[in-house]
Amino acid sequence: MKASPEHQRILLDVADIDRRLLQAERARTKPVQAARITELVAIRQEQLRELTALTGTRDDVRAELTRLESDVTLVEQRRARDAERLAAATNAKEAQALEHELDSLSRRQSDLEDAELDVMGRMEEADAAVAAQQALLDATTAEGSALTAQAKADVAAATELEAELSRDRAAVLEGIPAPLVAEYTRKAANNAGAALLTRGTCEGCRIVLPSTDLNDIRRAAEDDVVSCPECGCILVRTEESGL
């Protein structure tokens, strides 16, 4: 294939644009935050399950405390009634029975209050556990929200850059003959498409070409389209090619 050296050099601009287009596409379809966001989703789900379990435990303790408080109130009310009855009692046997019951109620109230103190301690621990877990969940949610917002911004920027690069690519390709564009496009499906030959090295695959291959390239005319024998991309020759 024949093409002017100027047109061949323009392929380097096209290759650079295509490289940047590929980067932009990756940034748009696979933002760098995606892996961490996915990880945070799993972490948040586990933290939410743990929070639900801790909240359930706290609610159970709260229900137990409410029951004990109700029992203490009932005992206090019963003691107050018995004390009134004892004060008004005229029968010694009835008075003795009331005194015995008041002693029992006093012990019952003491036991309930001890149990109430124990449950209050457990309630404090449960509240602290729920608060700590909620803080973890909030931190995970905040990080996920920040990363998601940044990812959306990066995707939008990459989308805009893709559009801009596509316009630049179309403008650059306008002056290149269709056969050369077709040859570049075919090669670009598997490699850089076009690359400089610098001091005997293909900049597409970074391989130093053997002297036999360099001799073949050296014998080619300026308008011959030559390819790298290693990666197959079009080699663009300049004064720096080492030929």
In tens, the pLDDT along 212-239 reads 999 999 999 999 999 999 999 999 999 8
pLDDT in the model for residue 98 = 84
39: confidence class by pLDDT, cuts 50, 70, 90 = very high
In the predicted model, is pLDDT for residue 91 greater than 80?
Answer: yes
pLDDT in the model for residue 228 = 94
Using CA atoms, how far apart are residues 212 and 198, in angstroms rounded to an integer?
Answer: 16
12: confidence class by pLDDT, cuts 50, 70, 90 = very high
In the predicted model, is pLDDT for residue 242 greater than 80?
Answer: no
Nearest residue to 233 via CA among 10, 12, 7, 25: 12
Q: Taking residues 74-92, what's their average pLDDT?
A: 88
Domains defined along the chain, listed by start: 5-19+177-241 (no CATH), 27-173 (1.10.287.1490)
Using CA atoms, how far apart are residues 18 and 236, in angstroms rounded to an integer?
Answer: 16
pLDDT in the model for residue 137 = 98
Q: Return the bridge partners of 237, or none.
A: 197
pLDDT in the model for residue 82 = 87
pLDDT in the model for residue 92 = 82
- Rounded to two decimals, the pTM is 0.72
Count the Cβ atoms, other than its own, within 10 Å of residue 88: 10
pLDDT in the model for residue 150 = 97
Please write the tens of the pLDDT for every residue from 104-145. 999 999 999 999 999 999 999 999 999 999 999 999 999 999
pLDDT in the model for residue 243 = 72
Q: Taking residues 170-180, what's their average pLDDT?
A: 93
Q: Which residue is associated with the tokens 């850089």?
A: 192
In the predicted model, is pLDDT for residue 206 greater than 80?
Answer: yes
How does the average pLDDT of the chain come out, rounded? 94
178: confidence class by pLDDT, cuts 50, 70, 90 = very high
Q: Which phi and psi (to 5°) does residue 220 adopt? A: -70, 150
In the predicted model, is pLDDT for residue 198 greater than 90?
Answer: yes
